[in-house]
Chains A and B, each alone.
Chain A
């Protein structure tokens, strides 16, 4: 059983749309949840970090964690062409880190 499941997409949306990205996990020991953005041939860039159930907002980005359902989401409001990238969810027990496969997002002008 995979530790972290993420739909690889690809996902294509028009500019201005709300984007919803999701991951599920199986390990109850995960305490910390992260979303990264990765542009082609670059290292991942941390977008959001949270360690509790509920919502966390930062600008156009909202991270949502539901520990009871083992489900995390990232919402992007008013999506822009510059948001086109691969989005990786990641989870940690505090010691080890587990990444999803990434969802490829294209925002069409």
Chain B
């Protein structure tokens, strides 16, 4: 069964450092997403990406965040200067279609746990 993969599974970084979280979406999917989940809190939408550009972003997704699809398979989330409060689980997801389509289904990856010290 196809799946979304994410690397690394756990990333530890010092405050102020840049991190890049990597995702490989399902190969025929066209819509890509990043979410975060701070420990014990709800899953929060960060950004959606389609046709090589951001379709929508939340208030959380400020100038320190950026996303990129550098090649035909990877989808990355970059945090430019990490803060302690960026510590969370970051989930990548992908879907073949967008909400509204009868066959809409969003598949999540296993997540990258980011710890900022």
On A, residues with C-beta under 8 Å from B are 4, 31-32, 34, 36, 41-46, 49, 51, 88, 90, 92, 94-102
On B, residues with C-beta under 8 Å from A are 4, 33, 35, 41-45, 48, 55-56, 58, 91, 93, 98-100, 104-111
Contact (Cβ within 8 A) A94 B98: yes
Q: In the complex, which of the residues A32, A34, A96 contacts B100, with contact meaning CB atoms closer than 8 Å?
A: A32
Q: In the complex, which of the residues A32, A41, A42, A88 contacts B43, with contact meaning CB atoms closer than 8 Å?
A: A88
Contact (Cβ within 8 A) A44 B108: yes
With A41-B111, A45-B108, A97-B45 given, name 14 new contacts (CB 8 A): A4-B42, A31-B100, A32-B99, A36-B108, A43-B108, A44-B91, A46-B105, A46-B108, A49-B105, A51-B99, A94-B100, A96-B45, A96-B56, A99-B42
Contact (Cβ within 8 A) A42 B110: yes
Contact (Cβ within 8 A) B42 A32: no
Bound form: Cα–Cα A99–B42 in Å: 6
Contact (Cβ within 8 A) A43 B109: yes
Q: Which residues of B sit under 8 angstroms from A36, Cβ to Cβ?
A: 108
Q: Which residues of B sit under 8 angstroms from A31, Cβ to Cβ?
A: 99-100
Closest to A43 in B: B108
Q: In the complex, which of the residues B45, B48, B56, B91 contacts A43, with contact meaning CB atoms closer than 8 Å?
A: B91
Q: Which residues of B sit under 8 angstroms from A34, Cβ to Cβ?
A: 106
Contact (Cβ within 8 A) A94 B41: no
**Nearest-Cβ distance from residue A92 to partner chain B, whole angstroms:** 5
Closest to B40 in A: A101
Bound form: Cα–Cα A97–B33 in Å: 10
**Nearest-Cβ distance from residue B110 to partner chain A, whole angstroms:** 5
Cβ-closest 7 pairs across A and B: A43-B108, A95-B56, A32-B99, A99-B43, A97-B45, A101-B42, A92-B99
